[in-house]
A and B are shown apart, each in its own frame.
Chain A
């Protein structure tokens, strides 16, 4: 079975550019999570969706960040304009049922570097 698929694996871009990270959850999973990991702050939940609807976006750092889930098999996390402090590894995860207390399956992450 295919796991959670994230693209790109690595992204290097200059500050001010728009960055789009993509995630394909495991087929049949109802919940999708976006996380950010940095050395300073560790893992942080940015936003999560149930049945394609954003439920909790309180972790989204600021208006420069936006996330969408147009259908059950695809989600994007967009940063516009990007800043050097956005450099981090971004993980997407999905779980089978509509609750945070369900096991999550993680993608391999996107390592983002903003110069």
Chain B
């Protein structure tokens, strides 16, 4: 069983919809990374958070360390948000399998 579970695995949305991607982990961590992998393969670090909430543009990440759960939200989704979103705990950088998001115009 993977120590980091993401849901959903695949997500298709219409442009403008509010998106939520979830990440749960079974081991203790002090921080969690959210990454975005573009269709071309490049990886960008979106957030690294250890508590509460962080916001960057239309992206919001929340985490509850005690409940071992984090969410990534995208407001007013756009086709350019189409990518794979990956979470990872910082203890051993164990990654979730990723959520493939497709936003249709």
Number of interface residues of B (CB under 8 A): 22
A104 touches B33 (CB 8 A): yes
Which residues of B sit under 8 angstroms from A61, Cβ to Cβ? none
Q: Is A8 an interface residue (CB 8 A)?
A: no
Partner of B45, one of A48, A100, A106: A106
Q: Is B43 an interface residue (CB 8 A)?
A: yes
Which residues of B sit under 8 angstroms from A48, Cβ to Cβ? 93
B42 touches A109 (CB 8 A): yes
Q: Is B91 an interface residue (CB 8 A)?
A: yes
Residues of B25-56 contacting chain A, CB below 8 A: 30-31, 33, 35, 41-45, 48, 50
Partner of A42, one of B30, B44, B98: B98
CA distance A106 to B86 in the complex (A): 14
Q: A91-B43, A101-B90 are in contact. Are A44 and B50 (CB under 8 A)?
A: no
B41 touches A100 (CB 8 A): no
A89 touches B95 (CB 8 A): no
A109 touches B90 (CB 8 A): no
A109 touches B31 (CB 8 A): no
Residues of A4-56 contacting chain B, CB below 8 A: 33, 35, 42-45, 48, 56
Q: A42-B95, A43-B86, A45-B93 are in contact. Are A109 and B41 (CB under 8 A)?
A: yes
Residues of B within 8 A of A (CB): 30-31, 33, 35, 41-45, 48, 50, 86, 88, 90-98
List 24 A–B pairs whose Cβ atoms lie within 8 Å, in order of A's numbering: A42-B86, A42-B95, A42-B96, A42-B98, A45-B92, A45-B94, A56-B92, A58-B92, A91-B43, A100-B90, A101-B30, A101-B31, A103-B33, A103-B45, A104-B45, A104-B48, A105-B45, A106-B35, A106-B42, A106-B43, A106-B44, A106-B45, A109-B41, A111-B41
